[in-house]
């Protein structure tokens, strides 16, 4: 029986051909950052006089969600108070970053206060308000950015509760709708 000899190049080619299906499978099954953590809005096109959440930045294990005002015309917003409810077994609150909407072109000092409710890690309690004798704002813009870390696979609500918008006279503004969504984590 004759032995067949392979040259070095033929042997490498054979190995590469044999490994190609494994490489292709690994590439196809590789999850990108956008597939591992994703926000879905309850109402993607909320219309005017709405406060709503939208997905911003996503990494492999975190997500940033923006709170946006959409064409506020019913009254001038001076401040907001609300809770943001979520499932702490799926996502964990990391930080709040201020937006520019209430800042009114950097002429106004705005307080951003946030804390997890002491007896309930599933509720982020927030207050965002202009300070002093200010006129409030109308229009649209980014109010705040929330950063969450993925903890486990599953779906978490990201919903508003106990929400209120106030005008400069500290009266509750009616006619503003609030829209949340959900965060899906795949691990």
Q: Sort 72 into a burial class: Cβ within 10 Å, 0-12 / 13-18 / 19+.
A: buried
Domain ranges of the chain: 33-185
Q: What would the pLDDT profile of 88-128 be if each residue is shown by its tens digit?
A: 999 999 999 999 999 866 678 899 999 998 888 899 999 99
The band of 10, judged by pLDDT with boundaries at 50, 70 and 90, is low
Q: What would the pLDDT profile of 124-151 be if each residue is shown by its tens digit?
A: 999 999 998 889 999 999 999 999 999 9
CATH topology of domain 33-185: Immunoglobulin-like (2.60.40)
Are the C-beta atoms of residues 153 and 31 closer than 8 Å to each other? no
Q: What is the pTM of this model?
A: 0.79
Paired with 92 in beta bridges are 149
Q: Is the per-residue pLDDT at 33 higher than 50?
A: no
């Amino acid at each position: 029986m004759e032995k067949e000899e392979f040259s070095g190049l033929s042997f490498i080619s054979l190995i590469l051909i044999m490994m190609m299906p494994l490489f292709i499978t690994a590439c196809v099954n590789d999850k990108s950052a956008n597939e591992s953590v994703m926000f879905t809005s309850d109402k993607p096109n909320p219309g005017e006089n709405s406060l709503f959440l939208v997905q911003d930045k996503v990494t492999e294990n975190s997500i940033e969600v923006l709170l946006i005002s959409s064409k506020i015309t019913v009254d001038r917003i001076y401040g907001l108070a609300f809770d943001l409810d979520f499932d702490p077994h799926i996502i964990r609150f990391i930080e709040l970053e201020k937006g520019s909407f209430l800042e009114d072109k950097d002429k106004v000092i705005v307080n951003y206060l946030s804390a997890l409710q002491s007896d309930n890690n599933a509720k982020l309690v927030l207050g965002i308000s202009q300070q002093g004798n200010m006129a409030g704002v109308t229009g649209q813009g980014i109010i705040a950015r929330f950063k969450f870390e993925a903890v486990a696979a599953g779906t978490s609500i990201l919903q508003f509760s106990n929400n209120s918008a106030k005008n400069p006279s500290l009266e509750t503004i009616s006619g503003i709708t609030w829209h949340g969504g959900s965060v899906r984590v795949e691990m």
